Structure 1
Amino acid sequence: MGPFCQPVGIIIWILLVFAASALGGSDRGRKKIVHVLEDESGAVVVQTAPGKVVTHRGGTIVLPCRYHYDISAHDEDEIRLKWTKVTDPLAFRDVFVAMGKERRAFGSYRGRTSLQEDGPGDASLIIRNVTLQDYGRYECEVTNELEDDAGMVSLDLEGVIFPYHPRLGRYTLTYPEAQRACAEQDGILASYEQLHAAWREGLDWCNAGWLQDGSVQYPVGQPREECGRRESPVGVRNYGYRHKEDERYDAFCFTSNLQSQVFFLKPYRKVSFPEAVRACAGSGAAVAKVGQLYAAWKLQLLDRCEAGWLGDGSVRYPIVNPRARCGGQRPGVRNLGFPDKKHRLFGVYCYRAPGSRDPGAARWGWGWRDPSAWRPLHV
């Protein structure tokens, strides 16, 4: 007699949808079901491999979890459902708890989470307006007075990795500073899984950077002497876990899709950085962040062979279709570094937040003789 015919306390079924890239052969695109059950010994048995659910920033996602209990032995109101997020191997953050008719969400999940409750035994969690910080692993735990079972679901985000260092130069960021730098550029520190996926897609970067787990790594697609010796194999090179407060490296950041658009603005002539800030403001926007430009390049296919200011004072431009005089033979975001803000002149990449109104700056010219006044002139 199989385990499903034996008396059990609680059975959790987790339905996980695999990304097509993680499957091979005839399994491509299929759904996988993970059955987590408690046998007579109380041990948790996972019968098939776990997977992940995928969404994007701003989306709505269901973290699937189902359970079964012996209704003759347990009162439904005794069942407690608890969702937590794994923040470290042995650390969890409360997300959502339900018991009987009571419901409670925690922290940044308040107002964005609810149970799906699609029939008896459905403990699936709905997360709305998904953020970058929602990325990671979640535990669904079901308990009654005597027994408990749990299963894991991984929430992945569609997006793009971007290497980053500030104006100070390479290898200037401690781990906390790397976290802040990514956040300031509309990102989070990338995970190893995200960096590895980017390497498989062609990311080749010779500067070591912090990752979310506190390790320092870098992806190499073309071995060379200045990047760990020519005879070294390709792959993601790993410096291991480093001292977060004392050691300094670059950062590998991750961002997801934009809820609005990045656009290039070049008035009558190229502008200094202070003028660029005012030009974007005059269009109801702000100077775009590095992560926003990367997201526009990767996910919205922004292609512009003109260098422009970004919010951190760097100058970059996105190329989807490589061509002559556009900086190389591969797609990517070209980086001209951090020029002098007052004296070097470029265009500017702006980002208009969702709901912001365009004051119609396209119908106006700008009074360049007195940039401090910045008065619009009819043309």
Structure 2
Amino acid sequence: MRVGSQRRLLLFSLLQLQLLCMCLATPRYFNGFFYDDKGTGNGKKEIYFNGVRLHVETEESMVLALRGSSTVLPCWYRYEPALSAPRRIRVKWTWQAANGPEKEVLVALGSRQHSFADFKGRVHLQGHAPGEASLVIGELQLNDTGRYRCEVIDGLEDQSVTVDLALRGVVFPYQPPGGRYQLNFHDARQACEEQDSALATFEQLFWAWEEGLDWCNAGWLADGTVQYPITLSREPCGGRRLAPGIRSYGLRHRRLHRYDAFCLSSSMTGHVYFLPSSHGFNFTEALQACERGGAQIAKVGQLYAAWWFVGLDRCDAGWLADGSLRYPITRPRPNCGPSEPGVHSFGFPSQHEKHGVYCYTAH
């Protein structure tokens, strides 16, 4: 009886071993293609591809552009080994703003393309050559910055690559009429938009710091962090022992915490000009004076753009749309304020005071 049990146990073990060998000899089916498990010689396992592999690539990981212009986000796909006949693939582009959800931009299947939301009518695939899935974006807006994902889908095979889009321009600190540190994140974003600009990204603030921006007040950025740029270390701004750079408070509560804002203006599509008056205008008269000339009172972002992109230089302080009094200087000189170029501010005076005004026309 004991010998019989041992024989049955031996036969059962041999059957298990045979089944195991059959499993190991059969390649696994994964993602629509066959793979083999092969040892590397060090006890680990690697997956080797037995069929055609799909590759998705980009020539640039970051693209820089200006608001109002068109740009191309490069994306290419290929097969290895190359195919003898083209396949019907699906291309999907998505976009993610700083710390935001991923949103659909465009989906294409063959010659059919469909765009979504704010991108509708502004995007299409370039498709100049076989294997190209590059995205063309027209009439770039300030809020188009972020990370774009190019996803190519062939059956169950799915590969993607990301491209960051950044707008270049001028970054400026902004305080509302109420004074320093009055804005939560949502207020800061709205304040920038009201001044024809958008909350700057960290990369944009870093580029501005490299170009000399020095500001000791902390401000919101597009990702919900609070930071400020220092080129000259000093006691009130983190101390003399800290090296110059971007000082960071990290992520802050978007509703409870209050700071200033760092805004970005990325183009000069219209024309900003100074309208003088022998007796000056109060704020209400300034609004009306611009309107009589077929224009509107300039916003802060528009004045910064005129200073940055076209070199507007005027030693006269004038009203702006937010009720502030500012003037742009590209050539510092005596009796024109600080010794550095910039848009200089007198803050928010009484709206009964008499001054000139900066007007803006889109033509």
Contact 2:64 2:165 in 1 (8 A): yes
Q: What is residue 135 of structure 2 aligned with on the other side?
A: 125
Alpha carbons of 1:61 and 1:225: their partners in 2 closer, same or farther (altered >3 Å)?
A: same
Deviation per CA, 1:153-208: give whole Å up to 9, x if none: 11121200010010000000000000100000011111111111111111000100
Tell me the distance in 2 between the aligned counterparts of 1:139 and 1:198: 27
Name the stretch that deviates more: 107-116 or 220-229.
Answer: 220-229
Letter in 1 for 2:313: D
Aligned partner of residue 154 in structure 1, secondary structure: strand
The residue identity in structure 2 corresponding to 1:287 is I
The reply on whether 1:138 has 2:182 as its aligned counterpart is no
Are residues 1:9 and 2:19 paired? no
The alpha carbon displacement at 1:241 in A equals 0.4
d(CA) in 1 for partners of 2:139 and 2:202? 24
Distance in 1 (CA, whole Å) between partners of 2:359 and 2:246 is 33
Aligned counterparts, 1:335-350, within 5 A: 335-342=345-352, 344-350=353-359
**What is the aligned length?**
314
Cα drift, residue 13 of structure 1: 2.5
User: How far has the Cα of 1:274 moved from its partner?
Assistant: 0.3
Deviation at 1:89, TM superposition (A): 5.1
* Equivalent of 2:87 in 76, 91, 97: 76
In structure 2, list runs of 5 or more residues that go unmatched: 1-48
Deviation (angstroms), 1:54: 1.7
- Amino acid in structure 1 at the alignment position of 2:361: R
Q: Please tell me the residue identity of whatever aligns with 2:121.
A: G
Q: CA RMSD in A?
A: 1.8
Judge conservation of contact 1:76–1:100 (CA < 8 Å) in 2. Answer: no
- With structure 1 as the length reference, what TM-score do the two structures score? 0.80
1:293 aligns with one of 289, 303, 309: 303
5 Å-filtered alignment, 1:8-157, equals 8-16=52-60, 51-69=61-79, 76-77=87-88, 79-88=89-98, 91-157=101-167
Partner secondary structure for residue 251 of structure 1: strand
Counterpart-to-counterpart distance in 2, 1:106 and 1:166: 34
CA distance in 2, matches of 1:222, 1:268: 41
Change (3 A) 1:144 1:90: farther
1:230 Cα shift?
Answer: 2.5
Give the 3-state SS of the residue equivalent to 1:15 in structure 2.
coil
Q: 1:9 corresponds to which letter in structure 2? A: R
Task: Tell me the amino acid that sits aligned with residue 351 of structure 1.
Answer: Y
Q: Aligned to 2:139, what secondary structure does the other structure show?
A: coil
Q: Percent identity?
A: 49
* Secondary structure at the counterpart of residue 286 of structure 2: helix
- Superposition deviation, residue 269 in structure 1: 2.3
Match of 2:283 in 1: 273
The Cα of 1:267 is off from its aligned counterpart by 2.8
Aligned partner of residue 330 in structure 1, secondary structure: coil
State the partner residue of 1:352.
361
> Which residue in 1 is equivalent to 2:322?
312
**Residue aligning to 2:23:** none
Q: Would the alpha carbon gap of residues 350 and 268 (structure 1) be closer, same or farther in structure 2, given more than 3 Å must change? A: same
| Deviates most, 182-191 or 128-137 | 128-137
TM (norm. structure 2) is 0.83
Shift of residue 144, structure 1, vs aligned partner: 1.5
Q: In 1, distance between residues paired with 2:348 and 2:259?
A: 18
Whole-angstrom CA distance in 2 between matches of 1:152 and 1:55: 17
